[in-house]
Structure 1
């Protein structure tokens, strides 16, 4: 687990958000039912916070069907 400083807080004590690799996210109990979806949405060489993952899932699920 790494930490990423929040962009919204400009104070010297910027809040830090934990970030995880794709493999760590997929192995979380929190996303146990979404492993296949996360394998498609997430990039292997990138780190993600839980908020970023949740937003990606929500954006995908709210997408238009043609």
Structure 2
């Protein structure tokens, strides 16, 4: 039987970043491609959660 000290320690989950072109070319964001082209910066990487948050914030703004 293994001792408690022998158990592997959980590694932190590394979230991968994606470039603007990878995101806009993906099937997941096909319907939001034009919005994301305007909101995302070239040369910067984003996680899926960041992209969803950026999109949600933009779409939630009141039209003036």
Scaled by the length of structure 1, the TM-score of the pair is: 0.77
User: Can you give the 5+ residue segments of structure 2 that lack an aligned partner in the other structure?
Assistant: 1-9
Give runs of ≥4 in structure 1 deviating > 6 Å.
Answer: none
For 1:25-57, what per-residue CA distance to the aligned partner results, in whole angstroms no more than 9, with x for missing partners?
011000011111010010001000000000000
* CA radius of gyration, larger in: 2
Please show how residues 1-66 of structure 1 align to structure 2 within 5 Å: 13-66=11-64
- Which structure carries more relative contact order (alpha carbon 8 Å, separation 6+)? 2
- 1:65 and 1:25 mapped to 2: Cα distance? 25
Equivalent pairs counted in the alignment come to 56
Give the structure with the higher percent helix.
Answer: 2
TM normalised by structure 2 equals 0.79
Two-structure CA RMSD over aligned residues (Å):
1.6
